[in-house]
Amino acid sequence: MNTHDIRPITDPSRPKVYIETYGCQMNVNDSEVILSILQDAGYALTEDIEQASVILANTCSIRDNAEQRIWGRIDQFKLQKRKRNGVVIGIVGCMAERLKDKLLEAVDLVAGPDAYRSLPQLLAAITPSEPQINVLLSHEETYADISPVRMDRNGVSAFISIMRGCNNVCSYCVVPYTRGKERSRDPYTIVREAEQLFANGYKEVTLLGQNVDSYYWKDEDNADRNVNFAQLLEMVAKISPELRVRFSTSHPKDISDEVIYTMAMYENICRHIHLPVQSGSSVMLEKMRRKYDREWYLERVAKIRSVIPDCGLTTDVIAGFCGETEQDHKDTLSLMEQVVFDSAFMFAYSERPGTLASRRYPDDIPYEVKTARLNEIIALQGRMSLKSNEKEIGKVLKVLVEGPSKKNPDELCGRASSNKMCVFPSRGEKAGDYCEVKVTAVTSATLLCERIG
C-alpha cells in the first residue's frame, strides 16, 4: 500500500489538479483514489479552479439528467482553457466509459473507472492535437494497494471501497456497463485502510459496494481463509469499539441472516441498512430483474426488525418504470406505508441506452404521469419520515459529532447509529466526539435533542 499522507498535500510548487465529483459515494471514494495516484505523480489538489492546470470531473451516468449537467460543466471548464494556456480538461468515471468517443471530441482526457492508474501517463501524453483515452474495464482492478487521499472536510467519517463493478442485471441500470464485472478487494487491505483511518482520528468508516452482500474474497492458497461480507464486517468492527462501521448498498435478494446477526453482535456496527426496494409491485420487480418480489422484501424487513428492532431502514424508489400501471404504483405506495422507511431516494425512471429495459420495453409512461407519481411518492415519504422520527421521541441516543449545526453555531449536529441526523446544544465538543442525547422533538429531517448526563 502506498503510504503517503492521508490528507491532501499543500505544496505551492506543484502543478494543481481540481476535481469535481458527481454521482454516488463510490465516486467520492474514486476521486480520493485518483488524487492519491496524482499526488504520487507530483500533482497537488486545489479547490480553486482558477489555479488548476488539470480540471477533472468524475462523472455519473445513472440518469439522463446527471449526464446533461456534465455537458454544461464542460462548457464552463472550457472558459478556463481560454483564460490560461496549458489547462487540460479530463472526464473520468461512468460517463467517460459510456460516451467515450463523443467526449473525446470535447475534452483532452477520457478515463473509465478502471483506468485511474494510467492517469499520469495519459496526462503526460496529451498535446493540443492528441487527446488521450483509456476506458478499458478490468476483471481484477480493485485499487487495493492505493491508499486514498481523503478530501472530506471534517476528518471524522470516510468511505472504503470493498468491491467494484456489479454482476446484477437490473434491467433499468447502466452500472454493469460502466463499471464492469464484480470483483472483491483483499480484506486485509480493507482492514489496514480502516486501521490507518482510525489512527488518523477518523471515527466512522462506510464500506462501499454496489451490492455488499455479494462481497466474497477467495484466498488462493487456503479456502479456510475465504471471507464473506459478514466476516469482513466483523473484522472491521473488531478494530476498535470507538470506530463506527457502516455499509452500503445492500441488495434485498442477497442480504443474509448472518449479516443481520453480525450487526446485532457489535454495538459499533451501525444500525442502519440501505435496502433499495425500487418498486412495491411484484410485476414491476420481475420486469426490473430484481430477483425478489414484494413478499420476499417484506420478509427481509421483518427479519431485520425482529433481530434489530431499532434498525434504521432507507430505500430507493423508481416511479414510472416501463408499463407501470396505476395499481403497480399503488403497490409501491402501500409498501412504503407498511415499511415506514426513515428516508428514501426517489427517482423518475430514466431510460438508459444499452440496458435490457431500453432494448425490451418501451419507456411508455408519459412524463406528466411519471412526475405526478413521483410527487405522490415524495409526499408520502415526507409523512413516513416524520412518523419514523416521532417514534424516536424520548429515546436516548449516542451521537457522533460532525460539527456545528448549520442553523445555530451554539448547537452541534451528528448522526445516531440509525443514521438519523440529530441537533443538540453544544458543551464545547468537537467533530469526532461521542455525545449522549435524548430526543425531545422532531421534524421529518432531524431529531431535536437535549443533553443528558
What residues make contact with ligand SF4 under the rule CB under 6 A?
Answer: 23-24, 26-27, 60-62, 93-94, 174-175, 178-179
- The answer to whether residues 446 and 423 touch, using CB atoms and an 8 Å cutoff, is yes
CB of residue 109 vs ligand SF4: minimum separation in angstroms?
Answer: 18
Residue 38 class from Cβ within 10 Å (0-12 exposed, 13-18 middle, 19+ buried)?
A: buried
- The smaller minimum CB distance to ligand SF4, of residues 179 and 246, is found at 179
- The smaller minimum CB distance to ligand 5AD, of residues 22 and 43, is found at 22
Contacts with ligand 5AD in 237-296 (CB under 6 A)?
A: 276, 278
Strands 396-404 and 411-415: antiparallel
CB of residue 238 vs ligand SF4: minimum separation in angstroms?
Answer: 29
Q: What share of the chain is helix, strand, coil (3-state, %, to 5)?
A: 35, 25, 40
CB of residue 364 vs ligand SF4: minimum separation in angstroms?
Answer: 24
Q: Which residue is nearest to ligand 5AD (CB)?
A: 316
CB of residue 259 vs ligand SF4: minimum separation in angstroms?
Answer: 22
Tell me how far apart the terminal alpha carbons of the chain are, to the nearest angstrom. 43
Describe the crossing of helices 367-390 and 326-339 by its angle, rounded to 10 degrees. 10
> Which stretches does DSSP call E strand in 69-166?
88-93, 109-111, 132-134, 157-161, 163-164
63 binds, among ligand SF4, ligand 5AD, none (CB under 5 to 8 A by kind): ligand 5AD
CB of residue 335 vs ligand SF4: minimum separation in angstroms?
Answer: 23
- The smaller minimum CB distance to ligand SF4, of residues 93 and 276, is found at 93
- The smaller minimum CB distance to ligand SF4, of residues 174 and 194, is found at 174
DSSP 8-class letter at 168: -
- The smaller minimum CB distance to ligand 5AD, of residues 25 and 196, is found at 25
370 interacts with ligand 5AD by CB under 6 A: no
Chain centroid offset of residue 80 CA: 30
172 interacts with ligand 5AD by CB under 6 A: yes
63 interacts with ligand 5AD by CB under 6 A: yes
Taking contact as CB under 6 A, which single stretch among the options 2-10, 25-33, 77-85, 346-354 is the one that binds ligand 5AD? 346-354
- The answer to whether residues 73 and 103 touch, using CB atoms and an 8 Å cutoff, is no
- Which amino acid type is present at position 3? T
Q: How far apart are CA 177 and CA 399, in angstroms?
A: 39
- The smaller minimum CB distance to ligand SF4, of residues 16 and 179, is found at 179
